[in-house]
């Protein structure tokens, strides 16, 4: 992709910056950085090398190595973009990467949002949250561009070979104990053997799912004023009148907009919907990071046990006065 951007940079009016991220997971990473710098010099591109904190998993104690590396990669790419005054990050994800992502999300039981996998263009907040504590930071929005997402890997390999460029192989990509590598080297080839064109079909399915996902987002945005009052409370009766798929989307949007949480599980989402459908006196539901949902007089309320409400302070004052 770096070679392609070099060829079109004048037409696009851009000056690419090639960024190498060292995740500090392999002894060969320093050698790869040197080779990446040499490639950038050969292509006449600016170059920058950044490193993830070590040990990586110590900074992400609740994540696996693949997700921890992904978060640090995007965080550092965002840092490089902001410091360079860039407004866009381009990555070289291609069609097989998209197919792998679809399968991984489906294996986790994802819905239409997960099935849509990666989008060719997206607006991403930076700093990208590398840990839960980063979520409240002030953010800037940068465009994420995947120009090769519809291109098969073999076409990209042929293009690179025609230019006479030597690419850098990440040795960890051969480790099939990692889930994505298992999908890449074992599952997807098996699917292609029995269902020729499987990767292309999965990528096409992602595009179809993305269109449905966008439609649901628009419907949820339109429904929010109908079910959420000016005080941020959700009207249970109005919610349960909606189709189930829309109920889920509305609940997630309500929670994200109110709390800033970035991950709400399907199980917690359905529990909130169950709370809306149930009668009074139902239990409080924990949804993560000290946030809870409870029902009172037909309304669902979001509360954080670490944040005092003004009425709690008044109640505490009354109790103290009574004890004097």
Q: Tell me: the pLDDT tens digits for 100-145?
A: 999 999 999 999 999 999 999 998 887 655 544 444 455 788 999 9
Lowest mean pLDDT among 28-32, 43-47, 265-269, 309-313: 309-313
Clarify whether residues 233 and 277 are in a common domain: yes
CATH number at residue 144: 3.40.50.620
Cα 259 to Cα 251: distance, rounded to the nearest angstrom: 12
Clarify whether residues 236 and 193 are in a common domain: no
Cα dihedral value 204, 209, 211, 213, nearest 10: -160
pLDDT tens digit string along 162-213? Answer: 988 887 888 788 889 989 999 999 999 999 999 999 999 999 999 999 999 9
For a pLDDT cut of 90, what percent of the chain falls above it?
Answer: 64
What integer pLDDT is reported at residue 138 of this predicted model? 57
DSSP state of 171: G
> Is the CB of residue 99 less than 8 Å from the CB of residue 198?
yes
- Give a yes or no: residue 268 inside a domain: yes
Clarify whether residues 191 and 287 are in a common domain: no
Lowest mean pLDDT among 45-49, 154-158, 170-174, 299-303: 170-174
Clarify whether residues 265 and 126 are in a common domain: no
Clarify whether residues 147 and 284 are in a common domain: no
pLDDT tens digit string along 236-278? Answer: 999 999 999 999 999 999 999 999 887 788 999 999 999 999 8
- Give a yes or no: residue 19 inside a domain: yes
Residue matched to tokens 């946030």: 291
What integer pLDDT is reported at residue 308 of this predicted model? 53
User: Is a pLDDT exceeding 90 seen at residue 18?
Assistant: yes
Clarify whether residues 255 and 107 are in a common domain: no
Closest CA to 37 of 26, 45, 25: 45
Write out the H or E segment, with its range, that includes residue 291: strand 291-296
- Give a yes or no: residue 71 inside a domain: yes
CATH number at residue 287: 3.30.465.60
Burial (CB count <10 Å: 0-12, 13-18, 19+), residue 115: buried
Q: Within the chain, where are the H helices?
A: 2-12, 29-43, 56-59, 65-84, 95-107, 112-115, 153-163, 179-182, 188-194, 198-227, 236-240, 244-259, 266-277, 310-323
Distances (CA, A) of 22 to 68, 223, 281, 320: 13, 44, 53, 57
Q: Which residues pair with 299 in a beta bridge?
A: 235, 296
> Is the CB of residue 145 less than 8 Å from the CB of residue 89?
yes
Torsions phi, psi of 144, nearest 5? -105, 125
> Is the CB of residue 56 less than 8 Å from the CB of residue 69?
yes
The two structure tokens encoding residue 63: 């994540």
Clarify whether residues 74 and 154 are in a common domain: yes
Clarify whether residues 88 and 143 are in a common domain: yes
Closest CA to 286 of 272, 296, 276, 300: 272
- Give a yes or no: residue 179 inside a domain: yes
Residues making up the chain, counted from first to last: 324
- Give a yes or no: residue 123 inside a domain: yes
Clarify whether residues 247 and 196 are in a common domain: no
In the chain, the number of structural domains is 2
Residue matched to tokens 């959700």: 234
- Give a yes or no: residue 216 inside a domain: no
State which residues form the domain around 21: 2-201
The two structure tokens encoding residue 196: 């020729």
Residue 10: other Cβ atoms inside 10 A: 9
Clarify whether residues 238 and 197 are in a common domain: no
What integer pLDDT is reported at residue 129 of this predicted model? 53
pLDDT tens digit string along 56-107? Answer: 888 888 788 888 898 899 999 999 999 999 989 999 999 999 999 999 999 9
- Give a yes or no: residue 271 inside a domain: yes
Cα 47 to Cα 65: distance, rounded to the nearest angstrom: 26
> Is the CB of residue 293 less than 8 Å from the CB of residue 258?
no
Residue that is last in its domain, among 185, 201, 217: 201
What integer pLDDT is reported at residue 299 of this predicted model? 95
Clarify whether residues 164 and 32 are in a common domain: yes
The two structure tokens encoding residue 263: 């991950």
The two structure tokens encoding residue 78: 């965002």
- Give a yes or no: residue 323 inside a domain: no
Clarify whether residues 116 and 248 are in a common domain: no
Task: For residue 79, give the 3-state DSSP assignment.
Answer: helix
């Amino acid at each position: 992709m770096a070679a392609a951007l070099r060829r079109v940079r004048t037409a696009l009016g851009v000056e690419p910056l090639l960024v190498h991220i060292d995740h500090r997971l392999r002894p060969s990473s320093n050698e790869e950085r040197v080779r990446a710098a040499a490639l950038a010099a050969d292509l006449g591109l600016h170059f920058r090398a950044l490193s993830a904190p070590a040990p990586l998993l110590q900074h992400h104690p609740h994540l696996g190595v693949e997700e921890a590396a992904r978060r640090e990669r995007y965080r550092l790419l965002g840092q490089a973009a902001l410091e360079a005054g860039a407004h866009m990050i381009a990555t070289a994800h291609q069609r097989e990467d998209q197919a792998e992502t679809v399968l991984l999300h489906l294996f986790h039981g994802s819905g239409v949002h997960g099935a849509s996998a990666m989008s060719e263009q997206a607006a991403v907040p930076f700093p990208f949250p590398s840990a839960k504590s980063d979520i409240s930071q002030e953010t800037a929005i940068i465009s994420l561009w995947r120009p090769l997402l519809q291109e098969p890997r073999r076409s990209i390999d042929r293009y690179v070979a025609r230019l006479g460029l030597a690419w850098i192989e990440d040795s960890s990509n051969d480790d099939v104990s990692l889930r994505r590598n298992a999908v890449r080297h074992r599952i997807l080839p098996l699917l292609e053997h029995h269902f020729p064109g499987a990767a292309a079909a999965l990528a096409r399915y992602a595009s179809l799912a993305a269109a449905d996902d966008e439609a649901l987002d628009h419907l949820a945005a339109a429904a929010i004023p109908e079910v959420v009052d000016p005080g941020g409370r959700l009207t249970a009766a109005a919610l349960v009148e909606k189709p189930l798929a829309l109920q889920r989307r509305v609940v997630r949007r309500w929670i994200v907009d109110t709390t800033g949480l970035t991950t709400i599980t399907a199980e917690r989402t359905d529990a909130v919907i169950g709370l809306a459908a149930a009668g009074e006196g139902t239990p409080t539901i924990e949804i993560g990071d000290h946030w809870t949902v409870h029902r009172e007089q037909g309304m669902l309320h979001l509360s954080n046990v670490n944040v005092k409400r003004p009425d709690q302070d008044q109640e505490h004052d009354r109790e103290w006065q009574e004890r004097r």
